[in-house]
Amino acid sequence: MNIQSGHDIETGPAGGAARDDLLDMVTFLEDFGDELEASTELFVPNPFYRMALHLMRAHFEGKIVTPTALIGASRVPYATANRRLKDMVAAGLIEQRPRTVTGKSVSLHPSETLLEQWRALSGRIRRLAETRFGGAVKTSGTKDYYFGGSYMETRSIPPLQVLGEPLKPQGGLRVLVHGDPTFMVMDNLKRQFEQVVGCAIHQRAFSIDRLREEGLRNAERRASLYDIIAVDLPWIGEFAQKGVLMPLDEVMEIARLDPPDFHAAGWSAVHWGGRPYGVPAQMTPELFFYRRDMFAEAGLEPPTTTARVLDAARHFHKPNRGQYGIAWNAARGTALGHTVMMTMADFGQPVLDLPEIAGGYDLGVLADDSYRPTFDTEAGLAACDYLLELLSCSPPDILSMSWYERVRPYASGAVPMAYGYTLLAPYFELDGSSPAAGTTGYLPHPAGQGASPVAPVGGYVMGIPANLPPERVRAAVEALIVFTSPEAQKMYVQNGSRTNPRYSVGADPEVRRLSPIFEAVDGMSWRDELQFWPRPPIPEICDLFQICGEEFHDMLRGLVTPREALARTQARADALITNRDP
């Protein structure tokens, strides 16, 4: 996608090496066909079979197929292959896409019918092999996914299909994203997505702070430089109120996105004033990672409460051996600011006076502009005490540790516990040398006394800039649907991502085989543990992160007491909210 990077882009692990199961099946059938045809002179090439294989491989690898190339792959004489190609087109198995203005040159693509037939065939062949030759047949019981149905022990999401009509925005699609592992997976899949949408894709990737700055700067331009921009979930209120994003219900039929398929917390999070301003592109709740093997060996229960976290941290904290109890975000500023808000949520305290509802707090009232901060509370004091206790069992560089730094000691085995977003899981799940690979348990945030477990929802939405020229809007809408579709989300996962905003993708058996994180997150969603209220998306949220990250950092350094930190945070937050622009 022609990445143009900022200087401080945050990149993820090289997680693009995962092979698609369907591509593996293509390779197997190609090799099997070779063996059959070579076994005796009585076997002759089957042009339908060979052309279908070639077309499917090119589709999965993002390569262009011309009629000449497909005929050449048939292994039969030209005239015979040409007739069989026309038969496949007439049967609706192959779609032709014009490559030139005259339409004389075309590219060939598998139709939806062929893709579905191929998916079904691949599944049948795999099951036959497992049954006849002793492979491990999956027998896990069905579970209630996707609004009560056993959605996916029986259904797999098919491959992404090319659009019937290619998109034609002048100069190609222009996308602004965050430089994290999931969006970098999109870059690894450049050729596939360009083939699907029918045009070039140009992507710029920035670190989180520079991404926000560029999004706001872009809104001041006469015409947007980007067709689609990624937005951190907490920024939705600011970007909606400042007119950075256009409401999607103005330019598309929202039902096309299949809203019920998104995790409820993620779909709610893209709304401001009751209107959707983006589509969840990645949903990455912050979870609690812990080493199941080390806990079992020590005879410790999974740390489902903050008290158990502290007990385990003290048990494992052995600085003289280079082992520490836990890693978390404690760097001054934005990083610690996120931790403060999430930790207060662990003790049941939202940072605003939100009305309580079943399963959490109501964020729908925020657009009314009538909220006030609530930091200086007894629950806030309990959160302070917890952070100070964590500090005593943390690595020596904890006060400068943020985002990716906190997962590195966990991946290396230096700590047995860490708070981290699911997007960080590839750092150890895809690293066979990591002692945490295959031994990690995933929990929502352990709860403080009297509170319920919460998995604070994070991640990014993809939206359309409000100042996008009208002639580019249609292409942006269609691309937005493609990039956030179940088929695309499954591709991201198969190529290393560990984020997913959709029930259907998390329930796909091929996805679930890749990581236990998807089943864990789905379970949290059904138990109402996935929540967005810990970081309410008000326009002032970034300033609040900074305030919390400064005042609580002084507390962790011993410069102020917990009560002083809470009082100072409350005073600065009150001043910020009171003086906000009308």
User: How many whole angstroms separate alpha carbon 418 and alpha carbon 286?
Assistant: 10
Residue 521 inside a domain? The answer is no
Residues 440 and 471 in one domain: no
Residue 48 inside a domain? The answer is yes
Residue 146 has pLDDT above 90, yes or no: no
User: How many whole angstroms separate alpha carbon 315 and alpha carbon 532?
Assistant: 32
Among 75, 96, 119, identify where a domain stops.
119
Residue 489 inside a domain? The answer is yes
Residues 446 and 499 in one domain: no
| 292 backbone dihedrals φ, ψ, rounded to 5° | -60, -40
Residues 187 and 308 in one domain: no
User: How many whole angstroms separate alpha carbon 565 and alpha carbon 577?
Assistant: 18
Residue 159 inside a domain? The answer is no
Between residues 15 and 504, which one has the greater pLDDT? 504
pLDDT computed for residue 147 by the predictor: 38
Sorted by sequence, the CB contacts under 8 Å of residue 369 that are 6+ apart come out as none
Residues 253 and 313 in one domain: no
The pLDDT tens digits for 426-469 are 999 999 999 999 999 999 999 999 999 999 999 999 999 999 99
User: How many whole angstroms separate alpha carbon 222 and alpha carbon 289?
Assistant: 45
pLDDT computed for residue 581 by the predictor: 54
pLDDT computed for residue 185 by the predictor: 86
Residue 142 inside a domain? The answer is no
Residues 239 and 275 in one domain: yes
Residue 5 has pLDDT above 70, yes or no: no
Among 50, 85, 119, identify where a domain stops.
119
Sorted by sequence, the CB contacts under 8 Å of residue 435 that are 6+ apart come out as 291, 412, 413
Query: Residue 32 belongs to a domain with what CATH number?
Result: 1.10.10.10
Q: In which domain, by residue range, is 236 found? A: 173-282+460-507
Residues 247 and 377 in one domain: no
Residues 254 and 222 in one domain: yes
pLDDT computed for residue 10 by the predictor: 40
Query: Residue 231 belongs to a domain with what CATH number?
Result: 3.40.190.10
Residue 144 inside a domain? The answer is no
The DSSP secondary-structure symbol of 372 reads -
Residue 369 inside a domain? The answer is yes
Residues 292 and 214 in one domain: no
Residues 325 and 432 in one domain: yes
Instruction: Say what the pTM is.
Output: 0.75
Residue 361 inside a domain? The answer is yes
The total domain count for the chain is 3
The pLDDT tens digits for 525-568 are 888 899 999 999 999 999 999 999 999 999 999 999 999 999 99
Question: Among 218, 254, 212, 261, which residue's Cα sits nearest to residue 237?
Answer: 212
Cβ 218 vs Cβ 465: under 8 Å: yes
Sign, CA torsion 156/157/158/159: negative
The pLDDT tens digits for 221-263 are 999 999 999 999 999 999 999 999 999 999 999 999 999 899 8
The pLDDT tens digits for 55-78 are 888 887 777 888 988 988 888 888
The pLDDT tens digits for 191-223 are 899 999 999 999 999 988 899 999 999 999 999
Residues 305 and 403 in one domain: yes
Residues 384 and 469 in one domain: no
Mean pLDDT, the chain, as a whole number? 88
The pLDDT tens digits for 258-307 are 998 998 888 989 999 999 999 999 899 999 999 999 999 999 999 999 99
Cβ 448 vs Cβ 383: under 8 Å: yes
Predicted confidence band of residue 143 (pLDDT cuts 50, 70, 90): very low
Residues 247 and 309 in one domain: no
